Amino acid sequence: MAEKLMKYADAVAKYDPVFGLEVHVELCTNTKLFCPAHIEFGGEPNTQLTPVSLGLPGSLPVVNKTAIDYAVKLGLALHCKVNEWSQFARKNYFYPDMPRDYQISQYDKPLNGEGYLDVELDDGSIFRVPIERAHVEDDAGKNTHVGGADGRIEGADHSLVDYNRAGVPLVEIVTKPIEGAGARTPEVAGAYVRAIRDIVRALGISHARMEQGNMRADVNVSLHTGPDAPLGTRSETKNVNTFKGIEKTLTYEIRRQAALLESGGEVLQETRHWDESTQTTAGGRVKTDANDYRYFPDPDLVMVHVTKDHIEELKAQMPEMPRERRARLKKEWDFTDRQMQDAVNADAVDLIEDTVKAGATAAGARKWWLGEISREANARGVSLQELPISAQDVADVEQLIADGKLNDKLAKQTVSGVLAGEGKPAEVVKKHGYQVVSDDGALDAAVDQALKDNPDIVAKLKGGNMKPMGAIIGAVMRATKGQADAKAVSKIVMERIAKS
Amino acid sequence: MSAQEELVKQSASDMAAQLRSGQVSSRELVQAHLDVIEAAEPSIDAFLQVSADQALEQADAFDQHLAHEGAEGLPELAGVPIAIKDMIVTKGIPTTAASKILEGWVPPYDATVIKKLKAAGMPILGKTNLDEFAQGSSTEHSAFKTTHNPWDTERVPGGSGGGSASAVGAFEAPLALGTDTGGSIRQPGSLTGTVGVKPTYGGVSRFGAIAMASSLDQIGPVSRSVLDAALLQEVIGGYDRRDSTSIPKPVPPLAQAARQGQNRDLKGLKVGLVKELGGEGYQPGVEARFNEAVSLLESMGAEVVQVSCPHFPYALAAYYIIMPSEVSSNLARYDGMRYGLRVMPPEGVPQTAANMMAATREAGFGDEVKRRIILGIYALSAGYYDAWYGSAQKVRTLVIRDFEKAFEQADVLVSPTSPTTAFRFGEKMDDPLAMYLNDVATIPANLAGTPAMSIPAGLSDDGLPVGFQFFAPQMRDEVMYRPAAALEAALEEQWGGPISKKLSTPWLDGLAQDSTK
């Protein structure tokens, strides 16, 4: 059931998108929001439970103070008005993954009120995203549908519920309707969510790993014909959990709604979901009056009181914010926008900073962390920080290169050895006997042999065609087991050619 | 009278004294009560579960402790057995809230009050009957059995805590715990001639009390004497970090206040008669005993003044908005997913989680529970919230102010506990409003969070017990214990002993003469 789409450029030329994001951030507290159950990603199903997180009869929630502190810090970073008194409320609805069949959230008295976040776009311009609130709530468990296609509930023959995630603290950051982004709507959305990711990481309050569901967004968008025209009906796309997905959802929805409006159709107020496999959004349930959450203050919990003094204490603990820090480091390191963005996306800024502190150049540090080491992290499906290589190790390798003791190839092998758990760089070098062949006699002999074996290439080189040089270098490398310095080989070859 | 009968008819504090002096062991006390339970249950039906083995084990452990380490550091009631309303979770002992939906559920944890009782070496005899999820005023809404009033087994024991009240009234247990959301400890106390206390909200941890209406629920003592209630409240009371609404203050000196009251000197005490709690709807025999008791208070030196609480007449209506609203949310978790009853949808209906939840709740809840869930959902619905829940909360605030003003004029307030004595089975089952009116005098204390207690004031013309209610200011529970103990002492002097002396107990007749069997 392919839906009609308008070309994006036409859609944003004709219609003005108004959008909103509800970003859910899982806080990385040791224990859950309302009970001392330990939190750990990927644990055996239904092992991280207490009577409270399972909603057993008689159990009562008690607020985790650390979660409140974390949420206040996030509120401060988002320039929110932090409310001294806030209140938890029950959001009532039945769902198998909710142990109490109500979520404990905040309603009319959120912890963090209005604020804003300035986000930097690709061209360096700043867009101010207005924030309505950032409130605290607990997460639900996780349903796994078995027997159907793609793990979806349709066609499944049974479902499993894991309550480990039930009760994990979340902050839901709700924007006001965001206007004026026009054609840049997806870009603004992506930049905003990345900025939040960077902030929560800088604050150390969330792992913010999209792939583990630490961050997810509900994306709302509607179209109208201009800033003064009445707002159109909005669609809400739930639980989009990649940055690209958020951007693509907006692009798709703008195109879909524009085509609908253009053909005289009507946008339904409905909940949709982003389908990564088809790169489309699909309709879900139509929002009706039946969807009444019957919010009321949770009588099990007294109001949350964060004193002015405590807010000041937390303020004093705030680190430099990512955008400011990034601007400073980008300048110090002399990175391009792209390079800096890559470092941020790979969560390598801290590692590069530490590597530079340990004596490496910024360019050298970047090359390793975003090259070899990132590839290894991706292959293993872990973060850079989880790999058995430190900033000091990388700086040591760089030092060995600078000292002429390793060439690029040997340096890579050394890093591979460290990653394989063979020890510190010096130990790996020693173990494998890595050293650049700088003994001219041995090198001369290897080059001579290579030239002798490849008369056709020698002819080309003599004729001024330098392209086959690589083949000679390759042969020399093979002969020296990779310990030759490519530059030195090249130099000797040129000398031989010139002489002959 | 058999030795066993003599033993179980004592007050809990007298049993405790005998334990300390070595005249009786905890095992003997437990065994005596188990024997009474066996003899009485066919007539009374107060228990849903009798945990004989655990109780005897606990008793033995206490007796060992007493023999080797003495009673130092233990509360006065240590070693005395107790019955628990089946609304409070007990590790390893099935807990049902008298609902089919929880049938067979064995809790993996203990309520805070149960932990405290265990730490005090108080053996748990079993779990007592109640209206399903504590919703009712007669215990007739239990999904499992009907509990009988020891004073007339054709009549209800009140509710929701009819099981605890009847168990204590019939000498099946010297003490019990109840939960009081709108009068569920005090009204059964009134109807069975026992003492029932609703402590200050937040004075006793609710952790492990199955929630009915969280902002109103409070665990409290059921006993046959004011001093026993005070001693028990001292055991179960105090701050609990697992209950966010728990008050971080020590328990006031309750037993001391009760003992002081036994001197029957109330000079300087101002007693406020609540004008709005009496008159129309109150049985003449209830009013007569109430007025006599007030005169007794005066004769002991108390100054009696009339106070007005003009918003009390609206309390019942506000209660029947707030309570069902909270019920509708608190009882959502009984959905067949994780514990208790699970009913699959009928054949031909899609076997989905949602349909299973609906089938489970349809089969598992009784009519009164469903009635309150529906009322609550309505009251909280968008568009109705302000008119219903919002207005009810305003009334609640006005009731709190009424109490505050009244306590400027008097140290304690008094009223009849229940407008009538015990009624016959079935008499009010078809008329929920008549049933709800039972709680008209008890509800204000729940709305305001203030402590209140009911003690026996004598028998009405129909020969059935009448309850006398005291109210005290918040966190000042000791203030009501003193005049309550004084009134109890004065009344017992008139009666020649506790009111239970007037109770005929045919179920005890067959008890063995030898209590040491």
Nearest to B308 by CA among B441, B412, B406: B406
In a domain, B208, yes or no: yes
User: In Å, how far is A18's CA from the nearest CA of chain B?
Assistant: 27
For testing the chain A interface, which of B244, B341, B397 should be mutated: the one with the most A CBs within 10 Å?
Answer: B244
pLDDT at B76: 97
H or E stretch at A42: none
Mean of pLDDT over chain A: 91
Instruction: Examine the pLDDT at A217 and tell me if it is beyond 70.
Output: yes
Residue located via tokens 């009474």? B36
Of the candidates A62, A100, A294, which has its C-beta nearest B380's C-beta? A294
For testing the chain B interface, which of A65, A101, A162 should be mutated: the one with the most B CBs within 10 Å?
Answer: A101
Nearest to B198 by CA among B210, B187, B186: B186
Interchain CB distance below 8 Å, A300 and B339: no
Q: Measured between alpha carbons, how far is A18 from A269 in angstroms, rounded to an integer?
A: 14
Q: How confident is the prediction along chain B (517 residues), in pLDDT tens digits per residue?
A: 788 899 999 999 999 999 999 999 999 999 999 999 999 999 999 999 999 999 999 999 999 999 999 999 999 999 999 999 999 999 999 999 999 999 999 999 999 999 999 999 999 999 999 999 999 999 999 999 999 999 999 999 999 999 999 999 999 999 999 999 999 999 999 999 999 999 999 999 999 999 999 999 999 999 999 999 999 999 999 999 999 999 999 999 999 999 999 999 999 999 999 999 988 889 999 999 999 999 999 999 999 999 999 999 999 999 999 999 999 999 999 999 999 999 999 999 998 999 999 999 999 999 999 999 999 999 999 888 889 999 999 999 999 999 999 999 999 999 999 999 999 999 988 888 888 888 999 999 999 999 999 999 999 999 999 999 999 999 999 999 999 999 999 999 999 999 999 999 999 987 865 444 4
Q: Tell me: the pLDDT tens digits for A431-478?
A: 888 877 666 677 888 888 888 888 888 888 888 888 888 888 888 888
DSSP, collapsed to helix, strand or coil, labels residue B53 as helix
In chain A, residues 16-75 whose CB comes closer than 8 Å to chain B: 51, 54-63
Give the residue from chain B lying closest to A104, CA to CA. Answer: B329
Chain B residues within an 8 Å CB radius of A54 = 338
In a domain, B340, yes or no: no
Nearest to B441 by CA among B77, B132, B182: B182
Catalytic residue ranges of B: 85, 160, 184
Q: Measured between alpha carbons, how far is B12 from A270 in angstroms, rounded to an integer?
A: 64
**A163-172, A330-339, A464-473, B69-78, range with the lowest pLDDT:** A464-473
Query: Which tokens go with A476?
Result: 């020399």
Give the residue from chain B lying closest to A63, CA to CA. Answer: B244
Q: CATH number for the domain including B229? A: 3.90.1300.10
Interchain CB distance below 8 Å, B209 and A299: no
Is the Cβ of A354 closer than 8 Å to some Cβ of chain B? no
Is the Cβ of A85 closer than 8 Å to some Cβ of chain B? no
Interchain CB distance below 8 Å, A292 and B109: no
| DSSP per-residue codes, A431-495 | HHT---B--HHHHHHHHHHHHHH-HHHHHHHHTT--TTHHHHHHHHHHHTTT-B-HHHHHHHHHH
In a domain, B146, yes or no: yes
Contacts of A133 (CB under 8 A, 6+ apart): A80, A110, A112, A113, A114, A173, A174
Note whether A73 and A29 are within 8 A (CB).
Answer: no
User: In Å, how far is A154's CA from the nearest CA of chain B?
Assistant: 11
Q: Measured between alpha carbons, how far is A318 from A205 in angstroms, rounded to an integer?
A: 11
Residue B132's Cβ-side half-sphere holds a number of Cα atoms within 13 Å equal to: 23
Query: Which tokens go with A68?
Result: 């409140």
Query: In sequence order, what E strands does B80-194 have?
Result: 82-85, 124-128, 176-179
In a domain, B71, yes or no: yes
Task: Classify strands A296-297 and B176-179 as parallel, antiparallel or unpaired.
Answer: unpaired
**CA separation (Å) from A306 to A10, A86, A113, A309?**
49, 8, 14, 8
Is the Cβ of A159 closer than 8 Å to some Cβ of chain B? yes
Interchain CB distance below 8 Å, B244 and A61: yes
Q: Tell me: the pLDDT tens digits for B405-450?
A: 999 999 999 999 999 999 999 998 888 888 888 899 999 999 999 9
pLDDT at B516: 45
Of the candidates A63, A92, A299, which has its C-beta nearest B214's C-beta? A299
Of the candidates A100, A299, A301, which has its C-beta nearest B332's C-beta? A100
Nearest to A27 by CA among A84, A79, A65: A65
Instruction: Examine the pLDDT at A288 and tell me if it is beyond 60.
Output: no
Nearest to B504 by CA among B453, B457, B459, B454: B459
Contacts of B349 (CB under 8 A, 6+ apart): B355, B359
Beta pairing partners, A89: A105, A297
Note whether B418 and B190 are within 8 A (CB).
Answer: yes
| DSSP per-residue codes, B86-116 | TTB-BTTB---TT-GGGTT---SS--HHHHH
For residue A333, the tally of other CB atoms under 10 A from its CB is: 19
Q: ∠ CA B81-B82-B84 to the nearest 5 degrees?
A: 155
Interchain CB distance below 8 Å, B382 and A57: no
Instruction: Examine the pLDDT at A287 and tell me if it is beyond 60.
Output: no
pLDDT at A211: 80
Interchain CB distance below 8 Å, B244 and A292: no
Domain count across chain B: 1
φ and ψ at residue B222, rounded to 5 degrees: -125, 130
Residue located via tokens 């070859």? A493
ipTM of predicted assembly, 2 dp: 0.95
Burial class of B154 by CB neighbour count within 10 A (0 to 12, 13 to 18, 19+): exposed
Residues of B at the A interface, defined by Cβ within 8 angstroms: 88-89, 95, 97, 102, 105, 107-109, 111, 206-211, 213-215, 241-245, 325-326, 328-329, 332-333, 335, 337-339, 353-354, 357, 377, 380-382, 385, 389
Interchain CB distance below 8 Å, B243 and A62: yes
Q: The domain containing residue B134 runs over which residues?
A: 3-312+396-500
CA end-to-end distance (rounded Å), chain A: 72
Note whether B319 and B452 are within 8 A (CB).
Answer: no
Nearest to B176 by CA among B219, B135, B147, B145: B219
Mean of pLDDT over chain B: 96
Give the residue from chain A lying closest to B339, CA to CA. Answer: A56
Chain B residues within an 8 Å CB radius of A60 = 206-207, 211, 242-244
Q: Measured between alpha carbons, how far is B358 from B247 in angstroms, rounded to an integer?
A: 38
Chain B residues within an 8 Å CB radius of A296 = 325, 329, 380, 385, 389
pLDDT at A468: 84
Under CATH, which architecture does the A440-499 domain have?
Orthogonal Bundle (1.10)
φ and ψ at residue A55, rounded to 5 degrees: 65, 35
Characterize B292-318 residue by residue with b for buried, 16 or more Cβ atoms within 10 angstroms of its Cβ, and e for exposed.
ebbebbeebebeeeebebebbebbbeb
DSSP state letter for A130: E
Q: Does residue B215 have a cis peptide bond before it, meaning omega lies within 30 degrees of 0?
A: no
Note whether A384 and A366 are within 8 A (CB).
Answer: no
Query: Which tokens go with B122?
Result: 């108080």
Interchain CB distance below 8 Å, B243 and A100: no
Return residue ranges of chain A for CATH 1.10.10: 440-499
Q: Measured between alpha carbons, how far is A126 from A321 in angstroms, rounded to an integer?
A: 15
Chain A residues within an 8 Å CB radius of B85 = none
Interchain CB distance below 8 Å, B89 and A56: yes
Chain A residues within an 8 Å CB radius of B344 = none
pLDDT at A332: 95
In a domain, B237, yes or no: yes
Interchain CB distance below 8 Å, A94 and B335: yes
User: In Å, how far is B365's CA from the nearest CA of chain A?
Assistant: 15
Give the residue from chain A lying closest to B219, CA to CA. Answer: A58
pLDDT level of residue A307 (50, 70, 90 thresholds): very high
Residue located via tokens 């805590």? B161
* Complete edge-to-edge strand list for the sheet that includes strand B465-471: B47-50, B124-128, B82-85, B176-179, B219-223, B195-198, B452-459, B465-471, B412-416, B270-274, B303-307
Note whether B88 and B210 are within 8 A (CB).
Answer: yes
For testing the chain A interface, which of B335, B341, B352, B397 should be mutated: the one with the most A CBs within 10 Å?
Answer: B335
| DSSP per-residue codes, B215-277 | TT--EEEEESSHHHHHHHHHHHBS--TT-TT--SSPPP-HHHHHHHHTT---TT-EEEEETTS
Note whether B158 and B139 are within 8 A (CB).
Answer: yes
Contacts of A42 (CB under 8 A, 6+ apart): none
Q: ∠ CA B195-B197-B200 to the nearest 5 degrees?
A: 165
For testing the chain A interface, which of B84, B115, B242, B319 should be mutated: the one with the most A CBs within 10 Å?
Answer: B242
